[in-house]
Amino acid sequence: MADYYEVLGVERSASAEEIKKAYRRMSRKYHPDIAGPEFEDKFKEVNTAYEVLSDPDKKRMYDSGVDPNDPNGGAGFSGFPGGGFGGMGDIFDMFTGGAFSGGSGRGPVPRTQPGRDSLASATVDLRTVVFGGTTQIKVSTFGLCPDCQGSGAQSGSQPVTCPDCHGQGYMQKVVRTMLGQMMTTAPCERCEGHGTIIEKPCPGCMGHGRVRVTRTVGVNVPAGIKDDTRLRLAGQGEVGEGGGAAGDLYVDVHVRPDREFARDGDDLHCWVRVPMSWAVLGHDLDIETFDGKRSVSVPAGCQPEETVTLEGLGVGRLRQQGERGDLIAHILVEIPTKLSDEERGLIERFAASHDADARHSSQATKPAASRAGARKGFFSKLKDALS
């Protein structure tokens, strides 16, 4: 008997929420659309494990040593464990398939089954995150068969009642057990438990009611979405067997790095490189933003890594329509590395006037500058030095 807890990577004491989280993690890891078609069997194993462990009744049966997905009622134990069963009825059900306790009234398995969820990914640019928008992705999954519209039968034909089980979907037979001869039930082999047979299967889907298709899906990306966010698109997943209702499509959204701006929460950051003279004397310049060109005023006496904030030009705030963060421009001051003789002379005159008594110092923290007084003295001396 397969160890479903090991398949999902959880302890036997795991809560329902922990099992659900583990399933999401494992299904994402092994989904054929993401990991590759070679992981399809592993993905099915993960789904089977979750199907059992997420159903209280099936989980209780599994914890008792019986795999509810084993058509033969196989048990992973020898003898009768002391606390594993609620009573003798459970033991008889295990060996008789429920016939002893009235379980034989189960009925045929519907051909129409709900579809599974699908997983895909989308990569968007930072502009889409700032304003919100729609991106198109291609999804390869099961869709409704266009020839039979999900019935599985050729046009003009219908499934007929199974002559072996007479529409019941199961067969009864006598088996020899350790408790003697007993009546057991099992799915009808001829109709596979459906109670009906498709004598003329649809050639397009071979009787399954669905076919593999590749389609384009529009994904609405809300403003302010974070990187690696998973969105749910209801009813956009796989169409089920027999044309059953489609599952959901989950889309993992990744944000492509931008060359001009970096995101920090709802704020955008950029670094503007300016010459030393602009930082000393002040300067107005235009920068490109997601809202078009905007003016940035570099203040006179601007220090390296000083910032200028443009309010309301950042990322749209999630679930707060119309509100946005700020755009913060970091000023990078370029120090010239090559000077002409005339330029060097001017700088030396300035240094003699302004830095004659300068002393270097070092400390563990960045000092808080007294900007107003420093600027006044700096500019008066610069004016004198260059006049």
All structural domains of the chain with their residue ranges: 1-78, 262-358+365-386
Q: What is the pLDDT of residue 72?
A: 52
Q: Under a CB-based contact definition with an 8 Å cutoff, are residues 111 and 84 in contact?
A: no
pLDDT digits (tens, 9 = 90+) for 211-254: 999 999 999 999 999 999 999 999 999 999 999 999 999 999 99
Pick from 330, 212, 347, 323: which is nearest to 273 by CA?
A: 330
Q: Which CATH architecture has domain 1-78?
A: Orthogonal Bundle (1.10)
Domain covering 262-358+365-386 assigned CATH 2.60.260.20 in the classification: yes
Q: How confident is the model at residue 62 (pLDDT cuts 50, 70, 90)?
A: confident
Query: How far is 301 from 387, CA to CA, in rounded Å?
Result: 19
- pLDDT score recorded for residue 352: 85
| Residue 156: pLDDT band with limits 50, 70, 90 | confident
Taking Cα atoms as reference points, which of 213, 212, 28 lies closest to residue 118?
Answer: 28
pLDDT given at position 367:
58
Same CATH topology for 1-78 and 262-358+365-386? no
Annotated binding site: 145, 148, 162, 165, 188, 191, 202, 205
For the chain, what is the mean pLDDT? 82
In percent, the amount of the chain with pLDDT more than 90 equals 46
User: Which parts are annotated binding residues for Zn(2+)?
Assistant: 145, 148, 162, 165, 188, 191, 202, 205
Collapsing DSSP to helix, strand or coil, 330 comes out as strand
pLDDT at 321 over 90: no
Q: What is the DSSP letter of 288?
A: E
**Residue 143: strand pairing partners:** 211
Per the listing, tokens 């390869």 go with: 140
Residue 312's identity, in one-letter code, is G
Report d(CA 279, CA 270) in Å as an integer: 17
Least confident of 47-51, 131-135, 374-378: 374-378
- pLDDT reported for residue 106: 64
Say yes or no to pLDDT of 146 above 90: yes
Name the residue with higher pLDDT: 41 or 135.
135
**CA 264 from centre of chain:** 21
Check pLDDT > 80 for residue 349. Answer: yes
Over 60: is that where the pLDDT of 79 sits?
no
Model pLDDT, residue 222: 94
As given in the structure block, the two tokens for residue 111 are 């051909």
pLDDT of 296 higher than 50: yes
